[in-house]
Structures are given as structure tokens and as C-alpha cells.
A and B are shown apart, each in its own frame.
Chain A
Amino acid sequence: MKRALLLLLPLLMVVGCKGPKKMTQYNEVYKERPSTIYIAPISDRSERHPMRTLDDSLYNASLNTATKQLFLTASDPLVFNGYYVLGPLASAQLAATETRTGKQLRNDNINDYYTELGIDAVLFITLYSWSETSSSWSADIEYVLRSTRTGNEVMHVFVKASKQLPTDFKGNPKPLGADLDFAAKYGCDLETAQRCRLVEIVNQFVLRDLPSGSRSRGNAVERYVVSHPEYFNLNINPSGGVELLKSNEN
């Protein structure tokens, strides 16, 4: 009996550690079956430095660029999953015609997006804060997908993402090759590159987990695949790998 229990214990632990299935996690998405998603402008609540020195303004510019990158890279994973998403420039133009504030859009009735624009769901991304040490960068980001037909939140994910840099033998952080490539390609400094790559990876990790679009073949097939929890910590380790560290399911 004891041996049987000892054998069952690791199995139970493994089963317990597994996340929820997509069918339960994205139950509302399966019910609503959205096919067109509109990405609302990013709500950036991260703190900026008061503009006293040149470093402060460069720091603020770096945060602004990272926010832009967060907006620009949000559409790719959704498109990959089979949703129709308007491009970033056209989306920005569409947002310019909107008279309501971001908070109003987030809380009020947005049924007109369905009736007038044919949008099934609106994705709201909120960037709460940035924090960094010499060898790590972290950001708190919230993703909310609201149905335009019913006004329900069909997806709600909060991520605390952090990125660790490898260190040399003296303990000083050294940038990853991919970050250096990004900085060279986009013509930005290394700090901005770190932030941009972090938000890009988080976007990919969170939004690729959504069920495939209702018109895609994978929509029904992947119902029993394990999905990410609602709240989790995401760690990008020094070798560039992504791991889900801790999850507090509600």
C-alpha cells in the first residue's frame, strides 16, 4: 500500500503542476468564436523620469520605443493563430477616429465596434511598470480581450516577465547576441533593445496561447492542450529560453 502511494505521489504532483486546458481557460473564446480582433492603443502606466538630465530623456525615449514595439508586435501572433487583425498603421488611424478614452473603451459598452466596424473582440494591453537591475529587466503586462457583442472579458492574462542576462567571469552582465543584432538592426541603444525584445517575447508567449481562430482547423483540435494560467511569472533565462516560473491560479 505504501509503495503504491509512493508511486502515485510523483504522478499526482506532475498532474497537479499541469496548467488548465485551453477548453476551460478560454471557455469564453470558444463560446464567442471571434474572428476579427482589433488591438486598442497600449495603455502605458509605467513611470517616466522627470526630465532633468539627458539620461532621463533617453530613458523615457527608451520606454516609449518599447511601448511602440509592444503595440507593433501584438498583431503577429494573433494573425498566426488565424485571426484577422488590421495592421498597426491602419489600427492607429482607426484609433485616431475614436472619441472615447482608453478607460471608457475598457469599461463601457463597445457594441458599436461590432455593429459598425465588424470587430468581434478588442484586445487591451496595459503596461504597468518596468524595473531593471544591472543584469535583469522586468515588466508587468496585462492582456484583456473583450467581446464586442456581449462586452464580456473572454481572456484575461497578467504576466510578470523578467529577462536575465548572462554574466562574465567578473560578474558583469554581457548582452546576448540577439539583443546586439536587434540594436544594430533597429538603430537603437542596447537598453531599448533589451526592453523591445522582452515585450516581443511576452507578446508571442501570451498571444500564441490563444485558441486558433474560429475558421482555423486547429480551433477544435487543440481544446485539450494545456494552456497558460491566468497569472504567471515568465522568465527569459540567459540562454534565451522562455520558462513559466510560478503560477497563481484563481
Chain B
Amino acid sequence: MKTGTYTGKIQLMFRVGRCLILNSLFVMMFISCTGQYKGMPREEVLAYHTYSTYGELYALAQAYAESINAAVKADTLHPGMYADYGVVLAQMGHREAACRMLNAEMLAFPESRGQVMRVKQSLLPELMGNEQADRTADTAQLARWAYDSISALRPLTAVASVIDSSDREWISQQTPTDSVEIPIRLTANQKREMLLQEQTEAERLRKAREDSVAAAKQAKLDARKQVKADKEKAKKQKVKAKKQADKEKKRLDKQRQKERKRQAAEKEAQRKQNVKGGGK
């Protein structure tokens, strides 16, 4: 009886141990899978679509390079990754590199040829027709090259305020002109502040626009009032002139009447004189 219970306990312990080992194996497999494969860097893509700064573009390029590298290592390449990376590189001004990435997309996914050729034509028209160049290269090599190409730009990761001297030297070496574009990876608060600033600016512009519209409206109203007043004045003047003319007419009429009366009186007097003279 005792032996039976011991056997049961041992069996139970064995089962529990087996379960634990199997579970840990599953967990390890899951962790290893998730650690290797990175999908599309959606966080960076959304950030770039929302804020569209050079810093976001640079972060996006880095994320794509890392994703491609990890994906090729895990042998699970996401469709459209090379093409997207090519577009990012073209926007950053690395035209040759962009061309290689677009060619790599066509190589990895032949069904993408039509679409990628159209994208290439719009972005890199001068590099059309060199698709044969990368035909021999394998995707792993291209991914390594992509990763290295973006790694070469590593010193450009500093925020403007905390760039150390070595970075400044590097920037001055890279760009002979004074116009240095420093990519800045913004924090969430900085992004929010930037958005708020943009909104405030938009608000200010809107107010200014509203003010100008109101001023124009007022000016229009004033002009209309002025025209109305002018019309009133002209009307009054017309009435006054008419009254004046009437008065003048009356005066002239009176004068003419007086004249007529005077003439009639003169005629009467002359007639009387003639009658007296005839009598004599």
C-alpha cells in the first residue's frame, strides 16, 4: 500500500516536471521567434506620416534597415519592405541606394515588378534600366548592405542641443556648406508641443484672416453708407435747386406781371393823352 502511494507521488512529480519542461520549451521557442522577426516598423511609419520631419524620416530609415536585416536572418521577408526602404532612401537623397533597394524588391518579389518600376520612374527617372545590375546579388547580401549603408550615418542621432564636439566635427566634414540638416528624434512631449505650436499658429492665422475679412466687410459697409449719404445729399441739393428755381420763376413772373401792368398803365396814359390831344 505504501509502495503504491510512493509510486503515485513519483509519477505525479514526473508528470509535473515534464509539463514544466515542455512549457518552458514552448516559451523559449516563442521568444526566439518573436525576437528574430520584426514586421513593418509601423510606429515609425505612423510618426513619419503624422509629423514628416527629417528626424522621423531618418528614424524610419533606421527602423527599415533593422527590420530588413532581422527579417532576412529569420527568412521571413515582408512584401514591400525593400520598396518602402527604397522610397525612404530616395527621399533622404541617397538615390543609388534607393535604386538598389527597389531592384531588390523586384528580385525578391517578381510580381511587384510593374508597381516598383512605376515608383522608380517617378522617384529615380535617371536610374531606369539598370535592373540587371543586382540580378546576381542575393537578398541576404543586399540586406547586409542596406544595414551597413544606414549604419554609416549613425553619428547623426543627436538632438540639436546635446550634440558633442565629435558629432559637430563629423557634420562639418560631411557637409561643406553651412546649411546642416540635423535629424532630431522627437519625444512624445516634443511632438505634442510641436503640434500645439502648429495649431496655435493656425489659430493665429485664422484670427488674422477673420480680422481682415471683418475689416473688408466694414469697409464695404462704410462705402455703401457713403454712397447712400452722397445720394441723399444730391437729392437734397436737387430739391433745393428746384425750390430756388421755383422761387426765381415766381420772382420773374411777378416782375413780368409788374412790367406788364406798368406797360398797360403807360399805354393807358398815352391813350388818354392822345384822346386829350385829339380833342384839342
Contact = CB atoms under 8 A, between A and B. Distances in A.
A54 B203 CA distance: 7
A24 to B, nearest CB: 28
Interface stretch (A61-69, A168-176, A236-244): A61-69
Nearest to A115: B114
B170 interface: no
A94 interface: yes
A75 B115 CA distance: 15
Nearest to B190: A187
B275 interface: no
Query: Which of B79, B188, B196 has its CB near the most chain A CB atoms (within 10 A)?
Result: B79
Contact of A185 (B43, B49, B112): B43
Interface string A61-95: 10011001100110110010000111111110110
Interface in B46-91: 46-47, 49-50, 78-81, 83-84, 86-88
B112 A86 contact: yes
Contacts of A84: 79-80, 109, 111-112
Contacts of B123: 93
A119 interface: yes
Contacts of B184: none
A72 B42 contact: yes
A79 B81 CA distance: 12
B116 to A, nearest CB: 7
A117 B45 contact: no
A65 B49 CA distance: 8
Nearest to A183: B188
| Interface footprint category on B | 35 or more
B237 to A, nearest CB: 48
Contact of B87 (A51, A68, A89): A89
Contacts of B9: none
Task: Rank and list the top 10 A-B pairs by shortest CB-CB distance, nearest first.
Answer: A87-B80, A187-B188, A87-B84, A118-B114, A117-B114, A90-B83, A89-B84, A89-B87, A57-B199, A86-B80
25 contacts: A36-B115, A54-B199, A57-B199, A57-B203, A58-B199, A61-B199, A65-B46, A68-B46, A72-B45, A79-B79, A79-B80, A84-B111, A85-B79, A86-B116, A87-B78, A90-B115, A91-B80, A93-B122, A93-B123, A97-B118, A117-B114, A118-B111, A187-B47, A188-B188, A189-B192
Given A54-B199, A65-B50, A75-B80, 11 more contacts: A38-B115, A54-B203, A68-B50, A69-B46, A72-B46, A90-B86, A93-B87, A94-B115, A118-B115, A119-B115, A187-B192
Interface of B: 39-40, 42-43, 45-47, 49-50, 78-81, 83-84, 86-88, 109, 111-116, 118-119, 121-123, 186-188, 191-192, 195-196, 199-200, 202-203, 206
Interface of A: 35-36, 38, 51, 53-54, 57-58, 61, 64-65, 68-69, 72-73, 75-76, 79, 84-91, 93-94, 96-97, 116-119, 184-189, 196
